[in-house]
Structure 1
């Protein structure tokens, strides 16, 4: 066959399998060959299970031939971020300090995907313990953006984002503790979803506790919906898992309900914003009117500074635990930025933590009341375009490092509201720009539906990136 299976969506692969026009084995061989060809260029995958992947693909092929696929994802290759447990693979956490003992059980999302017949074939790279919004680590080196390999794919699920953009499997599992699904999805031109906290169960608990979510990353909203149908089911190992519901996320896609009230906030506070990102996202927000929505410019209902301080205290006070987990003699093996963050966490007082918890409750209430008035919130996903790989921060307007380059995503980890990113197009540099879509608790399907409706009229054409000649 002539179709490039590495560029097909998960839904397209399922349709090809059903018609006998492609097979899971063909797909897996094509993806494995591409992964090998791009390993040094993109560095998105840190572990590839070739033998097991081909065995799983052969089993899937037999099911399709019998007309008995387990789900629409049967035979679809999927990569899993290295912070998420996969049975038999090392739980490396992107760190030199972990003992690399193979995990003895799959995380819930991985187990659900396997049960659905998906081929879990690779582990994707992360920053060490997912501590920053770019992807490089002392263990695996620098991961690069397939749209321009001089640039970062974002993070910390940057390997997952780069893998999907580069054609190394059409879907991936990432984690999001402050934007770590949404940032790389934006930088790589993907749709990424952080569902309402607890909708996708997670185990073992994240170091950052109830900030962290497991979520889908894909080229299309339909593929993300197919993933949600599989992974959004409760698991007894997650004490915060939401009760089961009967939502079919694929059936929820389609035209948006008429007269949705949409708030658009170009800024959440006083922070720099790339002028081209601002223009592209503003146009995207206006385009929601063409989808039948009533769009109004709004201001954030809570102090940006207070929310940011609360997030930093939650984050750093969690990181400091690593200094107790690992012996002091090995602390210099940490990524320097992780070590600096952990040490800063030691300076958080009990009062700081209590104050941050109070702020979190107030912030959640403020956004809950906002979503009593508005069905959706639109913002940029990230305030900048992808920047140099191997750096932690982009330059700001004043030439100094811009520490506020990602101001839009963390608030909704604190408040637990569902948030997705959808690409709005390519900048003059040929780089993807993302729009964040947020809604009230438990409106995960509406968020994904809005992303799908927008993407349908703003198709992003993926070139075969990067070139493998």
Structure 2
């Protein structure tokens, strides 16, 4: 790997300021990396190197004049395809949607442009973002850079593949049940889902958040000053914060941390995942934290209720679509969605009410602990061609038991690498904090990264 690609955002900005490296020079290193690895991982949509060169050239001129737009000026970034960028279509990962150019930038895209970031591509996602998979009826099949036969997870599939393939330092995904954290866990990245409203999104949906996916905790934290600026289009958007996002000072001594090894529902935890998370818990104990076992916050009724609610809502979105166009939806998703036609209005409301029950159980747990750690994903990996870890539309959400409750409780959560399986695949540790205490999650994540040394080696393209 070109050594430039190992630099953090802070290191890049310092080099830009010292005029020892230009955004144009750095972009060309990223472009070379994409040329070498993208044909194998298929992470990108609307990749435009010519536009990226022009953006980098403009940023270089601003740095030379000392007139930068913001602290991400000249930093290459990808945005998940679901995040609208003005003048470009938003296919929602499906062949069933007309390719109509977006009328305006979504909040995240607007913030990136305001700060001078180099938006060089969108990243792939499955149909309507409703899978934890790199499989889509519209995009190429995205693959895991660690092992091209394996899935990168999703629905921020392309973002995770691009990050692990070292296509620059910053990739933005979205997360409604784990779609930032799950793929981050399966690709070794740091994925951060902040408190609801910390990063404004449009359109908003219950539990829908956005967050950075990076190789280092610091890069995610660095991006938060930009991403967290409020936007009126998101009714949950939080007021401006005075956080120093790079203040990682934390003392875990005496902190009470809950260790959750059972999600309460869904796929059983692989032995290698369990062992890696227990070893991570010992790291916290060695630093002085009090680690206590905690019970699951999820139940079968909660997950099934959420399934009913999501099916009913999604079927309502597509039922009036012409049959020929609806047939273009990925069969797995279409088969799952058809079940929504049988969900009554009363049952849909009951399903939605289960999100309130999740909020209650999460809130109750945090009256007893300061933070929670758990596996991010219950299993090590699954085949690239599968639509989900079960590959069964009747059991679509058996892998989100550890992640989805924190969307519904609006609490910040991250996934950070805590080791590798015997097969060489990354294993993710989830760290959850109290609502609105995003800094605590970042601080604990950074501390853990420093204890372990982080991921020291990232995937390389396979030889032709």
TM-score of Structure 1 vs Structure 2, range by shorter chain: over 0.9
Deviation (angstroms), 1:59 = 1.5
Distance in 2, Cα, partners of 1:230 & 1:468 = 38
**2:109 aligned partner:** 110
TM-superposed deviation, 1:238: 1.1
TM-score under structure 2 length normalisation: 0.94
Cα deviation digits, residues 383-403 of structure 1 (max 9, x gap): 00121101124469xxx9996
Hey, what does 1:437 align to over in structure 2? 431
Please tell me whether residue 272 in structure 1 is matched to residue 271 in structure 2: no
Could you say which residue in structure 1 is the equivalent of 2:219? 223
Deviations 1:158-211 (A, max 9, x none): 100110110112111101111110011111111111111111111133xxx212
The equivalent residue for 1:120 is 119
1:214 paired residue number: 210
1:406–1:55 CA distance, 2 compared to 1 (3 A): same
User: SS where residue 71 of structure 2 aligns?
Assistant: coil
Mapped to 1, the partners of 2:194 and 2:56 lie a distance apart of: 29
Aligned Cα root-mean-square deviation (Å): 2.0
Residue 130 of structure 1 aligns with which residue?
129
Report matched runs for 1:70-219 at 5 Å: 70-205=69-204, 209-219=205-215
Structure 2 unpaired stretches of 5+: none
CA distance in 2, matches of 1:33, 1:128: 30
For 1:427 and 1:30, the matched residues in 2 are separated by 31
CA distance in 1, matches of 2:463, 2:235: 45
Aligned to 1:245: 241
- 1 CA distance for matches of 2:155 and 2:19? 38
Map of 1:232 onto structure 2: 228
**In the aligned structure 1, how far is the partner of 2:418 from the partner of 2:198?**
26
Choose the corresponding residue for 2:289, options 293, 308, 311: 293
Secondary structure of the 2:206 match is helix
> For the residues of structure 1 that align with 2:237 and 2:320, how far apart are their CA atoms?
26
| Aligned-pair CA distance for 1:291 | 2.8
Q: Where do residues 25-104 of structure 1 align in structure 2 (5 Å cutoff)?
A: 25-104=24-103
Aligned 8 A contact 1:311 1:411 in 2: no
Q: Could you tell which deviates more after superposition, 419-428 or 16-25?
A: 16-25
Aligned equivalents of 1:189 and 1:425: distance in 2?
9
Alpha-carbon separation, structure 2, partners of 1:94 and 1:405: 21
Q: Deviations over 1:250-292 (max 9, x none)?
A: 12x1333532110001012154111001000111012111233
CA contact (8 A) 1:259 1:294 kept: yes
Work out which of the residue numbers 379, 386, 390 in structure 2 matches 1:384: 379
Aligned to 2:335: 340
- State the TM-score, normalized to the length of structure 1: 0.93
What SS does structure 2 have at the residue aligned with 1:141? coil
- Which shifted more, 383-392 or 25-34? 25-34
Pick closer, same or farther for the CA change 1:323–1:225 going to 2, 3 Å: same
Q: Which residue of 2 aligns with 1:455?
A: 449
In the aligned structure 2, how far is the partner of 1:325 from the partner of 1:112? 35
The equivalences for 1:422-433 within 5 A come to 422-433=416-427
User: What is the deviation of 1:452?
Assistant: 0.9
Which segment drifts farther, 135-144 or 14-23?
14-23
- What are the Cα deviations for residues 297-356 of structure 1, in whole angstroms up to 9, with x where unaligned? 1112x4521221232123212221332352222111000111112211222212212222
Alignment partner for residue 405 of structure 1, among 392, 399, 410?
399
1:375 has 2:370 as partner: yes
Aligned-partner Cα distance in 2 for 1:433–1:364: 27
Rounded Cα–Cα distance in structure 2 between residues aligned with 1:348 and 1:142: 32
Structure-2 separation of matches of 1:464 and 1:180: 22
1:304 is aligned to 299
CA distance in 1, matches of 2:175, 2:256: 27
The answer to whether the 8 Å contact 1:319/1:341 transfers is no
Change (3 A) 1:110 1:375: same
Give the conservation status (yes or no) of the 8 Å contact 1:94–1:125: yes
Report the Cα offset of residue 217 of structure 1: 0.7
What is the distance in 1 between the residues matched to 2:353 and 2:141? 38
Task: Return the alpha-carbon distance in structure 2 between the equivalents of residues 146 and 453 of structure 1.
Answer: 26
Cα pair 2:36 2:461 within 8 Å, conserved: no
